[in-house]
Amino acid sequence: MYESIFNKQKQFFQTKDTMSLDVRIKALKQLKDAIRFYEDDLMFAMRADFNKNESDAFLTEIGIVYSEINFHLKNLADWAEPVNVKTPVTHFGSKSTIYKEPYGVTLIISPWNYPFNLAIAPLVGALSAGNTAILKPSEHTPHVSEVITKVIELAFPEKYVASIEGGIETNQQLLSLPFDYIFYTGSSHVGKIVMEAASKNLTPVTLELGGKSPSIVTKDANLKYAAKRIVWGKFMNAGQTCVATDYIYVDNSVKDQLIKHLKHYTHKFYNKEFEQQNYMQIINDDHFERVHNYIQGDIAYGGRSHKSRRMIEPTIIQNADFSHPAMEEEIFGPVLPVLGYDNLEKAMIDIRDLPDPLALYIFTENDKTAQHVIKSIPFGGGAINDTMYHLATPHLPFGGRGNSGMGKYHGRYSFDTFSHSKSILKQTTLFDIPLRYPTYRKFQKLL
């Protein structure tokens, strides 16, 4: 069913039009203009789908995409230049060059939690590298997906970029096509389905997945800032953020103090929104039930909910341990378990026993401790004394490892992800070196 769009894109890619730097720059500008045109509709759609307010929508969805486009517009000419590299003495007379070339027709599958950003930010990379693209936005945010389609239709002909709305069946049909690259963001479970489908055509993939991302708070941490920055990152978007703190692991000697600050900032930042029923909604009834079930045990703050509005109050659970239901899988909601440790080494072993998290945050005033933690636990990326900020800079690659994904993007890393590095050696015809030909004996002496 979607084969005709795929074939149109394949044919268009083969014209080599998208290889031109001017065409790529124009494409990025057209994308930005089309987003501007539909900015109000996007804000409205985010309200309609899960009550995301206008300032959050701009900060975490639209503004971040504008910055990504601007960064690519500024640097693309540099990134696209062929790079000359050294050539060993055994290759005397020749030159080595790496050319960046687009893969071809790419597929971008995105989730619902940042439905605009996570569909369009990868598209920026695909376009800047010179590919065509088919987007499959999430079926769980139908209003946003509809506006994404309008943005794409305003900016591009179908043969260049297309947005196909639909659910699992649509995805399955798309995944059966021989794409040249697949970029998937979503759960680890579906990540495996995507990778299996891609393997049938040996299509390279980037998988941006999730996991249980801890915040470790040591006894020498600045507890006020730790609490403030954890709370901000955790309860934004009602906890439905892939790099939100999933749980806190804090030194028992400062646990009570930390909880006091956590309660203070949660109340300060989010109480009014919840009281006025203006907090972000949980995406659907199933997820509401799932997250609601985690509210048990020793509740230090919150615990209330409005089922009909799918709203869960930011909730802190103290004295939790690894047997708490919230510790079974990624929480992906506004529930924050706080676990205590007596020994940091032992705490790190507990974290290493879980699948590799997408993010890890370490709060400490001791740089040696921070470095020790960073080097001892495998995870995608993270921050020292902050949460989530690492993903808002185009200079850092963003991606997971193991269960939290493979590959990376943002800024130059997006351009590289969507480009193949073609290595070319140019040999001289001014002379010929006899050493390289049989019987190689003299050549061996060189090594």
Distance between CA atoms of 313 and 194, rounded to whole angstroms? 34
Pick the piece of the chain touching ligand NAD (CB under 6 A) from 61-69, 202-210, 296-304, 314-322. Answer: 202-210
Q: Which of 25, 98, 154, 190 binds ligand NAD (CB under 6 A)?
A: 190
Cβ-based nearer residue to ligand NAD, 254 or 359:
359
As measured in angstroms, the least distance from the Cβ of 172 to ligand NAD is 5
Q: Is the peptide bond before 364 cis (omega within 30 degrees of 0)?
A: no
Q: Which of 148, 151, 164, 209 binds ligand NAD (CB under 6 A)?
A: 209
Binding pattern for the stretch 127-146 against ligand NAD, x by CB under 6 A and - elsewhere: ---------x-xx-------
233: phi then psi, degrees, rounded to nearest 5: -70, -35
Short-list 50, 160, 60, CA closest to 105: 160
As measured in angstroms, the least distance from the Cβ of 267 to ligand NAD is 27
Binding pattern for the stretch 308-347 against ligand NAD, x by CB under 6 A and - elsewhere: ----------------------x-x---------------
3-state secondary structure of 304: coil
Q: Mutual orientation of helices 63-80 and 117-128 as an angle, nearest 10°?
A: 20
Say if strands 419-426 and 95-102 run parallel, antiparallel, or are unpaired.
antiparallel
Binding residues with ligand NAD: total (CB under 6 A): 26
Query: Cβ distance 201 to 179 under 8 Å?
Result: yes
As measured in angstroms, the least distance from the Cβ of 386 to ligand NAD is 18
The interface with ligand NAD within residues 379-408 (CB under 6 A) comprises 400, 405
Burial class (CB within 10 angstroms; exposed 0-12, middle 13-18, buried 19+) of 2: middle
As measured in angstroms, the least distance from the Cβ of 129 to ligand NAD is 19
The interface with ligand NAD within residues 342-371 (CB under 6 A) comprises 358
Cβ-based nearer residue to ligand NAD, 188 or 318:
188
As measured in angstroms, the least distance from the Cβ of 171 to ligand NAD is 3
Distance between CA atoms of 74 and 134, rounded to whole angstroms? 25
As measured in angstroms, the least distance from the Cβ of 63 to ligand NAD is 17
Q: Which of 193, 195, 327, 435 binds ligand NAD (CB under 6 A)?
A: 193
As measured in angstroms, the least distance from the Cβ of 152 to ligand NAD is 16
Burial code (b: 16+ CB inside 10 Å, e: under 16) for 100-135 equals: bebbbbbbbbbbbbbbbbbbbbbbbbbbbbbbbbbb
Query: Cβ distance 236 to 199 under 8 Å?
Result: no
Cβ-based nearer residue to ligand NAD, 303 or 402:
402
Q: Which of 104, 125, 130, 186 binds ligand NAD (CB under 6 A)?
A: 186
As measured in angstroms, the least distance from the Cβ of 331 to ligand NAD is 10
Pick the piece of the chain touching ligand NAD (CB under 6 A) from 185-193, 230-238, 320-328, 412-420. Answer: 185-193
Please list the active-site residues. 208, 242
Q: What is the DSSP letter of 356?
A: P
Q: Which of 171, 245, 305, 414 binds ligand NAD (CB under 6 A)?
A: 171
Cβ-based nearer residue to ligand NAD, 172 or 366:
172
Cβ-based nearer residue to ligand NAD, 186 or 337:
186
In the numeric block, the tokens 């309008």 are attached to: 150
Q: Mutual orientation of helices 142-155 and 39-50 as an angle, nearest 10°?
A: 160
As measured in angstroms, the least distance from the Cβ of 308 to ligand NAD is 22
Can residue 112 be called a binding residue for ligand NAD (CB under 6 A)? yes
Cβ-based nearer residue to ligand NAD, 104 or 355:
355
Can residue 182 be called a binding residue for ligand NAD (CB under 6 A)? no
Q: Mutual orientation of helices 21-37 and 63-80 as an angle, nearest 10°?
A: 170
What secondary structure does DSSP assign to 123-181, as a single string?
HHHHHHTT-EEEEE--TTSHHHHHHHHHHHHHH--TTTEEE----HHHHHHHHTS--SE
Q: Which of 118, 151, 291, 348 binds ligand NAD (CB under 6 A)?
A: 118
Residue nearest to ligand NAD (CB): 210
* H or E segment to which residue 85 belongs: strand 83-85
Cβ-based nearer residue to ligand NAD, 163 or 419:
163
Can residue 167 be called a binding residue for ligand NAD (CB under 6 A)? yes
Dihedral sign of CA atoms 6, 8, 9, 11 in order: positive
Q: Which long-range contacts link 305-311 to residues 24+ away (Cβ below 8 Å)?
A: 306/277, 309/51, 309/277, 309/281, 310/50, 310/281, 310/282, 310/283, 310/284, 310/285, 311/51, 311/238, 311/274, 311/277, 311/279, 311/280, 311/281, 311/282
Binding region for ligand NAD (CB under 6 A): 109, 111-113, 118, 136, 138-139, 167-168, 171-172, 185-187, 190, 193, 208-210, 242, 330, 332, 358, 400, 405
